[in-house]
Chain A
Amino acid sequence: MYRGREGQWAFYLHRISGIAIILFLALHVTEISSSMFGPKWFNALLKFEENPIFGLGLVAVAALVLYHALNGLRIILMDFTSWGVRLQRQLWYAVWVVYVVLGFPMLFIMLRHVFVGGE
């Protein structure tokens, strides 16, 4: 159906971002849930995560989540409307327009949190 063009990229990106997101999700749930072991353990863990690498990792995951969410809405439009499949390529470009509009401010704010913020 896609023959290696935009739709194929949309499909692969959706799968790759999906795999990355579930791996992050498993780590994230484990990490946050471990707060029940008490402040001594959890604050030590957070101290370890103060390395900007972790902050940048979160920015990267947020970027993948935003793509997966928007392309997921594109898939739903393709599945449940009469015109979605016909316009799938245009819809993919629309995904990227919304991605930049929402993603740019998010990227700016999140990078500020990592490198500038903190009392």
Chain B
Amino acid sequence: MAFRARRLEEAKRLSTSNLELAWWVFMRVSGVMLVFLVLGHLYTRAVLFNFHHDLTYDVVARNMSTVTWKFYNWLLLFLSILHGTNGLRYIIDDYLPSPRARVWVKVIVYTLVFLVVVFGTISLWAWNYTPVR
């Protein structure tokens, strides 16, 4: 069960389990990392680069084949998905009173998230692209 804590000491006191406390800490740590990773992603992909007109198969293929970007994107994918899914879990626990509905919504959400992560990971590691020209 999620809990609302405003301070680390409070979180330690309120947490119902060590796992729940670990998630609380994870949200903060991944949050700080994501500020840099996501804003870096936005800066390189949406500010420096014309995301709307210049994005092509070749650009993506070249990027995905670079080892540095593979790791960057993979870290970004995992941290953001875990951070986001845990956030959804807090929201589901807060607003869905019926335990039955909670279980079903969680099963659906976690399944979809799992499929997205698998799809993204396969795509990232499958890339080994050399431009034709």
Which residues of A line the B interface, CB within 8 A?
1, 15, 18-19, 21-22, 25-26, 29-30, 32-36, 38-39, 42-43, 46, 50, 52, 54-55, 58, 62, 65-66, 69, 72-73, 75-76, 78-80, 85, 106, 109-110, 113-114, 117-119
Contacts and interface: CB of A to CB of B under 8 A. Distances in A.
14 contacts: A1-B6, A18-B91, A26-B112, A30-B116, A35-B57, A36-B122, A54-B52, A69-B38, A79-B6, A106-B47, A113-B53, A117-B52, A118-B54, A119-B53
Contact of A25 (B28, B80, B126): B80
Contacts of B55: 46
Contacts of A113: 46, 50-53
A67 B6 CA distance: 20
B35 interface: yes
A22 B50 contact: no
A26 B113 contact: yes
Given A36-B122, A69-B38, A80 B8 contact: yes
Nearest to B35: A69
A3 B123 CA distance: 47
Interface in B89-122: 91, 112-113, 116-117, 119-120, 122
B53 to A, nearest CB: 3
Interface of B: 5-8, 11, 28, 31-32, 34-35, 38-39, 42, 46-47, 50-58, 60-61, 64, 77, 80-81, 84-85, 87-88, 91, 112-113, 116-117, 119-120, 122-124, 126-127
B114 to A, nearest CB: 11
